[in-house]
Amino acid sequence: MRLLLAILLLALPATAWAEIGRIKLTIGQTSVQRDGKTAPARVEQAVETSDVIITGKDGRISIVFKDNSRFSAGPNSRIELTIFKFNPGKRDGEFITKLDQGTLAMISGKIAKQRKDAMKVRTPASILGVRGTKFLVKVDP
Domain extents in the chain: 18-139
pLDDT tens, residue order, the chain (141 aa): 554 444 444 444 444 458 999 999 999 999 999 999 999 999 999 999 999 999 999 999 999 999 999 999 999 999 999 999 998 887 679 999 999 999 999 998 888 887 778 888 998 887 766 666 787 888 887
Neighbours of 80 (CB within 10 A): 18
What does the DSSP assignment read for 65-133? ETTS-EEEE-TT-EEEEEEEEEETTTTEEEEEEEEEEEEEEEE--HHHHH-TTSEEEE-SS-EEEE-S-
User: Of 48, 76, 39, 83, which is closest to residue 61 (Cα–Cα)?
Assistant: 76
**In sequence order, what are the residues at sequence separation of 6 or more whose Cβ sits closer than 8 angstroms to the Cβ of residue 102?**
55, 73, 74, 75, 76, 77, 78, 79, 138, 139
pLDDT for 71 equals 94
Select from 50, 132, 52, 47 the least CA-distant residue to 100: 52
The pLDDT of residue 70 is 95
| pLDDT value, residue 137 | 83
- Quick one: pLDDT at residue 47? 98
* Cβ-contact 28, 75 below 8 angstroms: yes
At residue 5, φ and ψ (nearest 5 deg) are -65, -45
